[in-house]
Chain A
Amino acid sequence: MSTYAQKKGFGATIWDYLTTVDHKKIAILYLMAGGLFFIMGGLEAVFIRIQLAVPNNDFVSAGAFNEIITMHGTTMIFLAAMPLLFAFMNAVMPLQIGARDVAFPFVNALGFWLFFFGGIFLNLSWFLGGAPDAGWTSYASLAVHSKGHGIDFYVLGLQISGLGTLIGGINFLVTIINMRAPGMTYMRMPLFTWTTFVASAMILFAFPPLTVGLTLMMFDRLFGANFFEVAMGGNTIIWEHLFWIFGHPEVYILILPAFGIFSEIFSTFSRKRLFGYSSMVFATVLIGFLGFMVWAHHMFTTGLGPVANAIFAVATMAIGVPTGIKIFNWLFTMWGGSVKFTTPMYYAFAFIPSFVMGGVTGVMVATAAADYQYHDTYFVVAHFHYVIVGGVVLALLAGTHYWWPKMFGTMLNETLGKITFWLFFIGFHLTFFIQHFLGLWGMPRRVFTYLPGQGLNAGNLISSIGAAFMSVAVLILLFNIIMTQVKNVKVGNDPWEDGRTLEWSIPSPPPFYNFKQLPLVRGLDAYWLEKMAGKKGLTPAEPIGDIHMPNSSFIPFMISLGLFIAAFGAMYHVDDKPWALPVLIIGLVITFGSMLVRSVKDDHGFHIHKEELVQEEKGAKA
């Protein structure tokens, strides 16, 4: 216990993070890695907007432009949005259900390192002969014939990081089903926990199709198979289906936790119970379910036939209903509440109109007949950026401000936060609103340049200026983060003063065992209930006793490193490089050897003894 508070050297801190199995530290790892990839994806976006700012621009070549748009999409979805959401899920969800960690701490660490090495592998493509260039959807008819190793980086990198996401999702499911504190029934779980639960279930069902698709693609590219090769009797459409059977649920996997973050923020800063809690839960589950029934609306122009198009169009529009339920519930939560305009609340407030605009264009593109016009134009680009930036990214920024004190024990500067918000919000609408019209005026997606005199100049320039606003906003956020951490002013349990859920009842950042005694949950918004009853904290559900904790382990890092090395071997084996096969074998030996070590070595963890906990409590009071 005493070692916990000790100042550690730099090397020791690094080693601590490399071996940690603590969900709060893994959350910080996810936040840092996701933040890094977010910056890289953002830079790629800036390059896109510079290239398109004026007609006939030659800032980048056509080939490089294809690589940049592909990596922008892939990085933002798989390596930025997902891990940043995982950061909040890891940091907050176990605290919200009153658990001491996730169900499988070791697997949690493994999930992070798999994602991290997959992401690094994918991004190394920039330095090793060119990035993937077939779009983030990597349609087989383009991808199979792409020269160089770009697509191989995509296939192997996503396969590795996808594994990490899948086991992360399963871990969250088991945690929520099995590790809720006494009294924390399903219908008392905070909305962020509920959305984590549903999103994790969707990960469980959506990632296997991606794994299958990537495996088939890997066989086509690396081992001479012909699953997608029409001339050899394959079917290129199968990739599109497999990708979208994964890809559509994926966007709901992103947006549901975002809804959860906003639900927490709305009720906290309206200082009211979330309006229509049970209908919110119902809507979340329904969106999760319907999310699997609509994938073919991405493929209306593929030639599925009118019946299939009609079915998928109607199913898609049906999703508007539960989403509408949510929007009205958020409005009614604020209605009559005593609303406090903090930075997170700014984001939440701005999210509603922004996301509704994305939803409305969503119903427009869901109309199969009309989609023949919108398809592959900037209208679609505008639509999905409105839902993903206007929904997910605003939620991530809001969540960063909202939970920063819980994760790091310091409060981000509110003034800088609000400046960030305004710049980002204005920049976002400036960038993407005009793109609806660019699309309607006939500008196709994924073109690297356009000619002057087609009426596209002004719109594109406005769009690029908006991107500059968003870049400045992100830089100010980074500055804010650095300033806050340098000043290092520590805050108490409940720095927003209106915390409702269990995470605010414990210190910021929480001790590594989270709860000295598991709390007794007496209703929805458990901490708020106790505060209203005039109590300082939760009633404990158990006497102080020994706490069982897992040991740190370096094995997750090694398992992931092995796959990372093996991926290089698999990729260069195609070029008949003599060293490729040994590298593949060495990599797999490292992975399976590490798994073997894990299996044969008993690791029972350790106990924090009752006396130490009592001692610490006395020390804190003295």
Chain B
Amino acid sequence: MTNQPLSSSNPRVDLEYRRRKNAEEMRYQVISFTLMIFLTFVAFGVVAIKGFTAWFVVPFILLLACVQVVFQLFYFMHMSHKGHEAPSMFLFTGVFLAMIMVWAFMTIIWW
């Protein structure tokens, strides 16, 4: 029911509830969007400011990138909503397996 459009003729759609839900959704989106912009500035910042070594900057930016991906998936692609359990399970399994392979390559091929 949460996925029904507001214009739906279904009498069981609670307009008041939908409006509240949408407002809440919008608030989350704005907050995460602001955070993402902020993180992007931070990423530029660490490069621009002198004094950080590459050993700090590269992992730090990668970490920020991961946070951004999570924001993207959960707040803009609605993975936090119900009905996304199977896709998210497959996504995380894929990420996990890919990580193991990268880890193995880094430790036993390109050591």
Contact = CB atoms under 8 A, between A and B. Distances in A.
Interface of A: 173, 177, 201, 204-205, 209, 235, 237-238, 241, 245, 292-293, 296, 304-305, 308
Interface residues on B, range: 10 to 19
Interface centre among B90, B100, B101, B108 (most CB of A within 10 A): B108
B36 to A, nearest CB: 28
B101 A308 contact: no
Contacts of A292: 97, 100
B104 A177 contact: no
Contacts of B101: 209, 241, 245
Nearest to A238: B109
B83 to A, nearest CB: 11
A284 to B, nearest CB: 15
Contacts of A305: 108
Nearest to A304: B108
Interface of B: 86, 90, 93-94, 97, 100-101, 104-105, 107-109
Nearest to A305: B108
19 contacts: A177-B86, A201-B93, A205-B93, A205-B94, A205-B97, A209-B101, A235-B109, A237-B109, A238-B105, A241-B101, A241-B104, A241-B105, A241-B109, A245-B101, A292-B97, A292-B100, A293-B100, A304-B108, A308-B108
Contacts of A238: 105, 109
B94 to A, nearest CB: 6
B88 to A, nearest CB: 13
Nearest to A235: B109
A235 B97 CA distance: 22
Contacts of A304: 108
Contacts of B104: 241, 296, 308
A241 B103 CA distance: 12
Given A235-B109, A292-B100, 17 more contacts: A173-B90, A201-B90, A201-B93, A204-B90, A204-B94, A205-B93, A205-B94, A205-B97, A209-B101, A237-B109, A238-B109, A241-B105, A245-B101, A293-B100, A305-B108, A308-B104, A308-B108
Interface of B is mostly: helix
Nearest to A178: B86
A516 to B, nearest CB: 29
Q: Which 4 A-B pairs have the closest CB atoms?
A: A308-B108, A304-B108, A177-B86, A292-B97
A287 to B, nearest CB: 15
A580 B79 CA distance: 47
Nearest to A240: B109
A173 B90 CA distance: 11
B28 to A, nearest CB: 27
A241 B94 CA distance: 17
A201 B93 CA distance: 10
A15 to B, nearest CB: 38
B99 to A, nearest CB: 11
Contacts of B108: 296, 304-305, 308
B2 to A, nearest CB: 19
A237 B108 CA distance: 10
Contacts of A237: 109
A292 B101 CA distance: 9
Contacts of B90: 173, 201, 204
Contacts of B93: 201, 205
Nearest to B109: A237
B35 to A, nearest CB: 31
A308 B106 CA distance: 12
A296 B100 CA distance: 12
Contacts of A201: 90, 93
A308 B100 contact: no
A308 B107 contact: yes
Contacts of B86: 177
A258 to B, nearest CB: 23
A305 B108 CA distance: 8
Contacts of B107: 308
Nearest to B94: A205
B106 to A, nearest CB: 12
Contacts of B105: 238, 241
Nearest to A174: B86
Nearest to B89: A201
A191 to B, nearest CB: 20
B101 to A, nearest CB: 6
A228 to B, nearest CB: 12
B100 to A, nearest CB: 7
Contacts of A308: 104, 107-108
A204 B89 CA distance: 13
Contacts of B97: 205, 292
A308 B90 CA distance: 27
A355 B109 CA distance: 34
B92 to A, nearest CB: 12
Contacts of A209: 101
A241 B108 CA distance: 10
Nearest to B105: A241
Nearest to B111: A305
Contacts of A205: 93-94, 97
Contacts of A204: 90, 94
Contacts of A245: 101
A238 B93 CA distance: 23
A293 B93 CA distance: 13
Contacts of A177: 86
A104 B109 CA distance: 40
B29 to A, nearest CB: 28
Contacts of A235: 109
Contacts of B109: 235, 237-238, 241
A398 to B, nearest CB: 31
A305 B100 CA distance: 18
A201 B104 CA distance: 22
B104 to A, nearest CB: 7
B93 to A, nearest CB: 7
A597 B100 CA distance: 41
A343 B97 CA distance: 40
Nearest to A249: B97
A60 B104 CA distance: 41
Nearest to B93: A205
A292 B97 CA distance: 7
A205 B99 CA distance: 12
A238 B109 CA distance: 8
A241 B109 CA distance: 9
B84 to A, nearest CB: 12
A38 B36 CA distance: 55
